[in-house]
């Protein structure tokens, strides 16, 4: 069941000897990024925001469709942006929605706290545990439950069956080390030690422009292992379990040169505007107090 493979083979594909023998319409070549090396993942139509600034960077369609054809109901919709930017004037109370073709679904981030990256104040939005929660806990996730047996009647949390968009291969996506997953998933495999600091996915967004200036997209690729008495490698497997292959950390941060330009063109001017606003408010208050003082002094003199 276990094979020794190079990192290159795991990422970009290798011909699996078992799949190569069975008479089944499955591509025997498997790999995490196969067959997307040096290819596009699809055509995106995106709103510019020229007619409605609230739609800036929102995906209008993916591969000329609004739906993915992988899920049922609202789960199948392409929502939000690609995560690189969002409509400007981001608020802490917002839910930032974005689409990821890597996990074959739209997902979202919620405000966690503020960050300061290279002198630029940012809002950090993280993917919450509710995004991968079971339908038993979050009813809106009902359409991500594909298999009643593996999901234990849709009560298992933290893993997502994406076999529908992987040509039927039993691929499951989760956060690294099964972060936020059910104990039954976590304890089926030895060596898991999830912690939010190292394994959560986050976006650090500049609130005025909506640009993502720092992010970490972390996900784990797993395979479903099920009992198969007629296959020697699987003959001793008693119960199905989800086996991790690898986890990925795709991270980026704005460069020093771009950060300096951003501070000069955006952050500095916004701060200057805030200072100017405060000065005008103080000056207006002083003038108002002075006017009222003068008014009452003049009125008291007339009364005398």
Task: Quick: pLDDT tens for 190-200.
Answer: 999 999 999 99
261 & 154 share domain: no
Q: pLDDT by residue (tens digit) across 60-110?
A: 999 999 999 999 999 999 999 999 999 999 999 999 999 999 899 999 999
**pTM listed for this prediction:** 0.83
248 & 278 share domain: no
Structure tokens belonging to residue 91 = 């608020």
Please report whether residue 135 resides in a domain: yes
For the cut 80, the answer to whether the pLDDT of residue 233 exceeds it is no
Contact 108, 131 (CB under 8 A): yes
Please report whether residue 286 resides in a domain: yes
**Kind plus residue range of the DSSP H or E element containing 274:** helix 268-303
More confident residue, 267 or 261: 261
- Check residue 242 and give its pLDDT: 94
120 & 157 share domain: yes
98 & 246 share domain: yes
- Check residue 54 and give its pLDDT: 94
**Boundary residue ending a domain (254, 278, 294):** 254
204 & 228 share domain: yes
Q: What's the mean pLDDT when you consider all of the chain?
A: 87
What domain range includes position 274? 256-304
Please report whether residue 70 resides in a domain: no
Please report whether residue 34 resides in a domain: no
179 & 301 share domain: no
| Secondary structure class of 114 (helix, strand, coil) | strand
109 & 226 share domain: yes
Instruction: Phi first, then psi: give them for residue 16, nearest 5 degrees.
Output: -75, 125
For the cut 80, the answer to whether the pLDDT of residue 170 exceeds it is yes
Contact 123, 204 (CB under 8 A): yes
- Check residue 21 and give its pLDDT: 77
For the cut 60, the answer to whether the pLDDT of residue 272 exceeds it is no
What is the distance between the alpha carbons of residues 219 and 211, in angstroms, rounded to a whole number?
22
Q: How many domains does the chain have?
A: 2
161 & 302 share domain: no
- What sections of 161-264 are H helices per DSSP? 183-186, 196-199, 256-262
Structure tokens belonging to residue 261 = 């330009």
More confident residue, 162 or 304: 162
Please state, for a pLDDT cut of 70, what percent of the chain lies above it: 87
248 & 102 share domain: yes
Structure tokens belonging to residue 235 = 């003959």
Q: pLDDT by residue (tens digit) across 49-62?
A: 999 999 999 999 99
Please report whether residue 11 resides in a domain: no
Of 205, 241, 221, 267, whose CA–CA distance to 81 is shortest? 205
């Amino acid at each position: 069941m276990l094979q020794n493979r190079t990192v290159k083979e795991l990422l970009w594909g290798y011909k699996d000897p078992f799949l190569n023998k069975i008479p089944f319409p499955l591509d025997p070549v498997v790999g995490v990024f196969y067959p997307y090396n040096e290819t596009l993942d699809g055509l995106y139509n995106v709103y510019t925001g020229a007619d409605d600034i609230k739609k800036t960077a929102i995906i209008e369609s993916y591969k000329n469709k609004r739906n993915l054809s992988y899920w049922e109901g609202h789960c199948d919709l392409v929502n939000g942006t690609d995560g690189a930017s969002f409509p400007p004037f981001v608020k802490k109370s917002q839910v930032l929605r974005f689409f990821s073709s890597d996990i074959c679904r739209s997902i979202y981030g919620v405000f966690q706290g503020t960050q300061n990256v290279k002198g630029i104040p940012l809002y950090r939005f993280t993917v919450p545990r509710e995004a991968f929660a079971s339908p038993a806990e979050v009813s809106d996730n009902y359409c991500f439950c594909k298999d009643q047996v593996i999901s234990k009647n849709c009560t298992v949390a933290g893993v997502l069956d994406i076999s529908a968009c992987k040509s039927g291969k039993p691929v499951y996506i989760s956060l690294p080390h099964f972060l936020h997953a059910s104990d039954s998933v976590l304890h089926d495999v030895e060596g898991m030690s999830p912690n939010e600091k190292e394994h959560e996915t986050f976006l650090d967004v500049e609130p005025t422009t909506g640009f993502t200036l720092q992010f970490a997209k972390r996900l784990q690729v797993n395979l479903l292992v099920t009992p198969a008495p007629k296959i020697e490698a699987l003959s001793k497997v008693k119960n199905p379990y989800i086996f991790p292959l690898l986890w990925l950390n795709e991270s980026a941060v704005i460069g020093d040169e771009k950060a300096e330009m951003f501070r000069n063109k955006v952050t500095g001017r916004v701060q200057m505007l805030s200072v100017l606003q405060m000065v005008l408010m103080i000056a207006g208050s002083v003038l108002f107090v002075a006017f009222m003082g003068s008014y009452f002094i003049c009125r008291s003199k007339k009364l005398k």
